[in-house]
A and B are shown apart, each in its own frame.
Chain A
Amino acid sequence: MKTENNDSIVISVCTGTGGVASGGYKVIDAFKEELAKINCTAKIGPRTHKVGCRGFCAKDVLVDVEVNGEIETYQHVTEEKARKIVASHILDKEPVKKWMVKEDYHNFNDKQQKLVLADCGKINPESIDEYIAQNGYKNVKKAMSMGPENIIETIKKAGLRGRGGGGFPAGIKWESCRNASGNPKYVLCNADEGDPGAFMDRSIVEGHPHLMIEGMIIGAIAIGSTEGYVYIRAEYPLAVDRLRLALDQAREHNFLGKNIFGSDLSFDIKIILGAGAFVCGESTALMTSIEDNPGEPRPKYVHTTDKGLWGKPSNLNNVETWANVPIIIEKGADWYSSIGTEKSKGTKIFSLVGKINNTGLVEVPMGIKLREIIYDIGGGIPKKKAFKAVQTGGPSGGCLPASYLDKPVDYESLYEAGSMMGSGGMVVLDEDTCMVDVSKYFLDFCKDEGCGQCTPCREGVAQMVRVLEEITEGKGTLEHLDLLEELAAMIQDTSLCALGTSAPNPVLSTLQYFREEYEAHVVDKKCPAGICKALTIFTIDEDLCTGCTVCARNCPADAITGAKKEPHFINQDKCTTCRVCYDSCKFGAVKKG
């Protein structure tokens, strides 16, 4: 067997973390094996290559099959499907329609504007040649010809702000680092993304590490630095491997090292593996950790651009910020600043998770409405449940209610609403979420992840968690709510670092927008969402129960009795309020209260 008349065949298999976890490597092998078996030839290819995350992780393994320039995308590809796709699509030229991506995939992509992620999912992250073929690293040369002042001016004019959470204008930071006295100067990249449910930076490093490296080189030229560090968590093994490989390749091409690009400039990047402490994402803690000390924030009132790593001027930005730099240099400040809102320019990557149909990584222009992200791109809430809140900004962000769905997403709007941009985690919560329980979860995270140096964060946050525990256990009073606010105000005022000052945000924002839910817990002793076990009982509505026995069969405590086709009954003495009956009843007969 032999295929004929093919100009090009390129098969791109998603091997981001989601793709690998869903069997991406096996799918690649299956494609290669099958293509070899049929002895397929073409002028270009057949080439089966790894690509990074393209965002829609819920549909992994995603595969692009390109024959003569026409691209079809398949979802949920397995080894078996891969073999059949080769037989049908490549051999018989008949794409397998039923396995191709559906409308939701297009909806997911339509409202996105991919700048940083544009090539992620198209090029092989393990091949520098593919990036060079796409004009990769050309922007470094352009930047060199521009000169440091011009680079900084361009970044300032573009309005690029730090994507790690603070939103500090990158150009101003670079400028103060450049103007600071002291040598050497360090260019640092924060890849220590630790928010629960966040995978923006991870996906960039896994899917397109060269973009970030190129950005760091441009930054180094602008700042006048010769040494760079990437602080990346050891729990990201794939990202670490690909970053290491990318750095080696860049060194081979003389993009890093001595006299880079044949100039008289030198710059190299080292990898530092973080041991997984959330607090090491804080800039000074990250630096003490690189210095081989325990990762604890420094209490100094000195900018790290003046005295940072080893007391030298240091410029820290996160992965996404660095990855924006080559794009700005390439397309210009005016083009970049035309995207977004007045004060927030460009795009932002969010990891859209929680109770949402289209879980994944999305890149949207600043100023987009929350509703567009959640309903148009995210496809709304599963099981037609009602939207309750969205948690932005990681564990120290805030929860925004439905009334904020039509507000624009940018640094200022989120901050004014009592939340923050953070690094881009976006957790969607539906009607079955107890807001007290959610804020307890995030606060508990901050409690355990704080370094423990300063009193307000160490003792105060722990006490807030204790108060929330008492509320969810049904021991709360209205005084508990006052105490929460009292502690939160003190922690915000007096904590040593941003982890502490922002830790009370989830509690304060839920107290602001969902106070009635707290009051239901402490006054009525009821959990409206039916999550807090001590405050919930489940009963069966006799009129709605059809006696289908599903609940009784699923009940792990044997608490449900009733004959077939007769209304069932929950024995409250045995019930552990595990919710299985509530979730399994198709007739809505199980009531929580």
Chain B
Amino acid sequence: MTDIINLTINGKQIKAPAGMTVLEAAQKEEIYIPTLCHHKSLDPEGTCRLCIVEVSGSIRDSIRVSCIQEVKEGLVVETDTKRINNNRKLILELLLGRAPEAQSLIKLAAKYGVTKSRFLTGESNDCILCGRCVRVCRDKIGMHALCFVNRGPQRKLTTDFERLSEYCIGCGACTNVCPTGAIRMEDKGDQRKIFTWDQVTAKFTLERCTHCGKPFAPKRYLELINQKVYIPKGLEYVDYVCPDCFSGHDKVSDRRREMALMKSTVKWSVPRG
């Protein structure tokens, strides 16, 4: 049994299991803390610094990021002080200077009364360098197709040697977690392209569904699933079936449906690297 920790957030007494972060504990109590680089299915990296809170009590009075700071007995957290909000405003304004057209950022900034930025950098894309895409590809998919290069303000999201990625499987997880739409996936006919910062960083020819004939997924992607998902003998893929044909359609055999079911219950366990 995990220990239950008592802490205070914005004056409210809260109980949370040990190991939980302050952000999770606050969300559990429906206390809003803004986030950008945080994603519930990814390990926190604490880099956007929006989820800062003031802490005191059982640790030294300081400002900490709530997505990393774990709950602690006697911890006193303030999420909405003047100091915190001033810092958040400035951080949002700085990010808006980098990505002035990113819709989700514009919305969040507006919430804090920031409607325009004094810090335009002239970047022409929506990336705020939060690193969610890098983390999902590295930690969840296990391919590490995306990475950051350069230091300081020159930091840039790209693929190995800035070439078409040899590791990308075209799964599109990066586009799903991107908070601003700086990474896009585009399917045209049987061609899939992934755009990072408006540059094509991966290209694929899509395999056709053996049932309906519609192009639906890159071969590398399907192969990875075959390789990573545990499939009992006799149930291996012999052909590729698109999600539409999977979903209980009459044309699909029972064996296929059984597999689809299994796929949804099997957890991805992907070793790093």
Contacts and interface: CB of A to CB of B under 8 A. Distances in A.
Interface string B52-77: 10000000000111001110000000
Contacts of A495: 49
Contacts of A494: 49, 52, 63, 87, 91
A459 B49 contact: no
B87 A460 contact: no
Interface string A476-513: 00000001001100100111100000000000000000
Contact of B152 (A462, A463, A483, A493): A462
Contacts of B47: 299, 453-455, 496
Contacts of B118: 483
Contacts, number: 95
Contacts of A453: 45, 47, 131, 155
Interface string B76-109: 0000000100110011001101100000000000
Contacts of B98: 459
Interface residues of A, number: 31
Interface residues of B, number: 36
A153 to B, nearest CB: 26
Q: Which of B45, B97, B131 has the most CB of A within 10 A?
A: B45
B48 interface: yes
B154 A486 contact: no
A188 B52 CA distance: 31
Nearest to B72: A301
A454 B87 CA distance: 13
Contacts of A483: 118
Given A299-B65, A493-B87, 7 more contacts: A279-B151, A294-B148, A447-B153, A452-B129, A455-B94, A455-B129, A486-B90
B265 interface: no
A277 B151 contact: yes
24 contacts: A277-B151, A299-B46, A447-B152, A448-B151, A449-B152, A451-B152, A452-B152, A452-B153, A453-B131, A454-B49, A455-B49, A455-B94, A455-B128, A459-B97, A459-B98, A459-B153, A460-B90, A460-B94, A462-B121, A463-B97, A486-B90, A490-B87, A490-B90, A494-B63
A458 B155 contact: yes
A528 interface: no
B2 interface: no
A496 B151 contact: no
A490 B153 contact: no
A121 B94 CA distance: 51
A170 B178 CA distance: 44
B270 to A, nearest CB: 18
A266 B63 CA distance: 42
A455 B48 CA distance: 5
Given A279-B151, A447-B152, A456 B49 contact: yes
A78 to B, nearest CB: 42
A384 interface: no
B91 A458 contact: no
A195 B86 CA distance: 32
Nearest to A296: B148
Q: Which of B83, B94, B95, B152 has the most CB of A within 10 A?
A: B152
Main DSSP-derived SS at the A contact region: helix
Contact of B153 (A300, A301, A462): A462
Nearest to B70: A301
B229 to A, nearest CB: 28
Contact of B64 (A301, A459, A461): A301
Contacts of B121: 459, 462
B68 A490 contact: no
B13 interface: no
Q: Which of A448, A455, A460, A463 has the most CB of B within 10 A?
A: A455
A456 B37 CA distance: 14
Contacts of A448: 151-152, 154
B119 to A, nearest CB: 5
A476 to B, nearest CB: 14
A456 B46 CA distance: 12
A449 B152 CA distance: 6
A452 B151 CA distance: 5
B131 to A, nearest CB: 8
A310 to B, nearest CB: 14
B152 A496 contact: no
Nearest to A450: B152
Contact of B68 (A279, A299, A452, A455): A299
Contacts of A455: 47-50, 91, 94-95, 128-129
Interface in A432-453: 447-453
Nearest to A446: B152
Nearest to A277: B151
Contact of B48 (A447, A451, A454): A454
A367 B155 CA distance: 42
Nearest to B90: A490
A233 to B, nearest CB: 15
Interface string B29-55: 000000000000000111111101000
A300 B86 contact: no
A456 B152 contact: no
B150 A452 contact: yes
A360 to B, nearest CB: 31
Interface string B141-178: 00000001011111100000000000000000000000
A458 B129 CA distance: 10
A246 B112 CA distance: 59
B52 A450 contact: no
A344 B152 CA distance: 34
Contacts of A461: 152
B148 A452 contact: yes
Nearest to A457: B152
Give 10 nearest A-B pairs by CB, closest first: A452-B155, A299-B46, A459-B94, A462-B153, A490-B90, A453-B47, A450-B152, A494-B49, A454-B47, A490-B87
B234 to A, nearest CB: 41
Interface in A328-358: none
Given A455-B47, A455-B48, A493 B91 contact: no
A458 B49 CA distance: 12
Contacts of B131: 453
Contacts of B150: 452
Interface in B105-151: 118-119, 121, 128-129, 131, 148, 150-151
Contacts of B97: 459, 463
Contacts of A466: 119
A277 B154 CA distance: 14
B68 A493 contact: no
Nearest to B86: A490
Contacts of B65: 299
A496 B70 CA distance: 16
Q: Which of A448, A451, A453, A460 has the most CB of B within 10 A?
A: A453
B95 A459 contact: yes
Contacts of A294: 148
A454 B65 CA distance: 11
A453 B49 CA distance: 10
Interface string A253-286: 0000000000000000000000001010000000
B63 A458 contact: no
